A = this chain, B = another copy of it.
Amino acid sequence: MPDENGLQRAYKQSRYQIAGHGRRTVQVLKDALADVSDESESDMYGKGKVIEAFEEKLARYLGKDTAVFFPSGTMAQQIALRIWCDETGVHRVAYHPLCHLEIHEEDGLKELHQIRPILLADANRLIELDDVVGMKDDVSCVLLELPQREIGGQLPEFATLEAISQYCRSHNIRLHLDGARLFEVLPYYNKTAAEVCRLFDSVYVSFYKGIGGVAGAILAGDSAFTSQARVWKRRHGGDLISLYPYILTANYYFDLRVSRMGHYYHKAKELSEMFNGCKRVSTLPHIPVSNMFHVHVDAPAEAVEQVLIRLCNETGVGFTGNLRATEEDKCSFEVSVGDAYDKIPPNTLAQAFTLLNSELAKGNESHA
């Protein structure tokens, strides 16, 4: 992560943001603690009311027998794959080339667990049934990420999920769900979490994306699976004496926001239309299927950065703090709609898009 640049500074200081739930400050924690009794007891190494009650609540919500709270998804998912590999005796798993484990975890899966991944599909498209059927190596487990974050949060059709699940079950392959953004896709599928999760043997969900907590994750599955997960959690150094700061915030923001996912999804579609109405701008997916999408701009990152800083300064609207240069003088950024979007006055947002459109049009002429 580079040091803070001009765009990050401008974004942080912007009055409004199109993405997220507001700034990640200590207030996020304090708000969640405000109604918690001072006398509430800490969890102790995975035991105690605060952790057990939340694990049971999420197990029920996800339709699984049991659940374990983890400090991070990185830890939870490596452990899930390790358990399935040990169970089947095959230390190979299959996942998308842009899977979190492949690109964001410093190869923990390989370095700590000696598990070799098979990359399914091309980086720029979703995994389909044919990719799973066509695997040349034996694998213990297939991991599916819903939505596929690094390609804008695309989703397979639910029927595809069902077909992959059925194939895996009939071929003794476990199916693991990277549900970092599972809550966010339920409105599109028009399914309950349990209806999605029953296609999978193990499920990870996160509490600081759409839910907006401080950190933390849940790993759910049957009790044979989660009892092994608890042992591995201890081995990884994740069985902290106290995880309650994360659990209390996860619980608070889960209750606050899990029912708002349909609203965020609706607003993401509205917002994507505004982007797609701008010159040289397109969103991926074109019509979002969750609260998230990527914005692709056909102009160099340096030029777009200046435009976005100007937008912050002149309209108070921050579009992103993280612009990613892509191939051939293009760039992109990610948008995940949350509570912050609703705080932008419609006129102000319209003004911001008018300015974005006219600035990018200028760029078009000077680059033509």
- Chain A interfacial positions (CB closer than 8 Å to B): 1, 23-30, 33, 36-42, 44-47, 70-76, 78, 105-108, 111-113, 208, 214-215, 231-232, 234-246, 248
A26 close to B30 (CB less than 8 A)? no
- How many Å from the CB of A205 to the closest CB on chain B? 15
Given A70-B237, A208-B241, A245-B245, answer yes or no on A27-B23 (Cβ-Cβ < 8 Å): no
Please give 14 more A-B residue pairs, beta carbons under 8 A apart, in addition to A105-B237, A214-B242, A215-B243: A1-B44, A23-B41, A26-B33, A26-B39, A26-B244, A28-B42, A29-B244, A72-B238, A72-B239, A75-B237, A107-B235, A108-B234, A215-B242, A238-B238
B71 close to A235 (CB less than 8 A)? no
> Which residues of the partner chain B approach A76 to less than 8 Å between Cβ atoms?
237
A74 close to B42 (CB less than 8 A)? no
A248 close to B26 (CB less than 8 A)? yes
Residue ID in chain B nearest A113 by CB atoms: B112
- How many Å from the CB of A229 to the closest CB on chain B? 12
A108 close to B235 (CB less than 8 A)? yes
- How many Å from the CB of A83 to the closest CB on chain B? 12
Residue ID in chain B nearest A114 by CB atoms: B114
What is the CA–CA distance of A88 and B27 in the complex, to the nearest angstrom? 46
What is the CA–CA distance of A215 and B214 in the complex, to the nearest angstrom? 15
> Which residues of the partner chain B approach A243 to less than 8 Å between Cβ atoms?
215
What is the CA–CA distance of A44 and B26 in the complex, to the nearest angstrom? 13
B44 close to A25 (CB less than 8 A)? no
For this chain, the copies found in one complex come to 2
Q: Which 5 residue pairs are nearest across A and B when measured between Cβ atoms?
A: A75-B237, A108-B235, A245-B245, A74-B237, A27-B38
A72 close to B215 (CB less than 8 A)? no
Given A108-B236, A231-B106, answer yes or no on A40-B24 (Cβ-Cβ < 8 Å): no
> Which residues of the partner chain B approach A113 to less than 8 Å between Cβ atoms?
112
> Which residues of the partner chain B approach A39 to less than 8 Å between Cβ atoms?
23, 25-27
A215 close to B234 (CB less than 8 A)? no
B235 close to A111 (CB less than 8 A)? yes
What is the CA–CA distance of A105 and B237 in the complex, to the nearest angstrom? 8
What is the CA–CA distance of A180 and B246 in the complex, to the nearest angstrom? 23
A235 close to B112 (CB less than 8 A)? yes
Residue ID in chain B nearest A31 by CB atoms: B38
What is the CA–CA distance of A245 and B73 in the complex, to the nearest angstrom? 18
- How many Å from the CB of A226 to the closest CB on chain B? 15
> Which residues of the partner chain B approach A75 to less than 8 Å between Cβ atoms?
236-238
Given A40-B26, A47-B1, A214-B242, answer yes or no on A106-B237 (Cβ-Cβ < 8 Å): no
A42 close to B71 (CB less than 8 A)? no
A25 close to B41 (CB less than 8 A)? yes
> Which residues of the partner chain B approach A106 to less than 8 Å between Cβ atoms?
231-232, 234-235
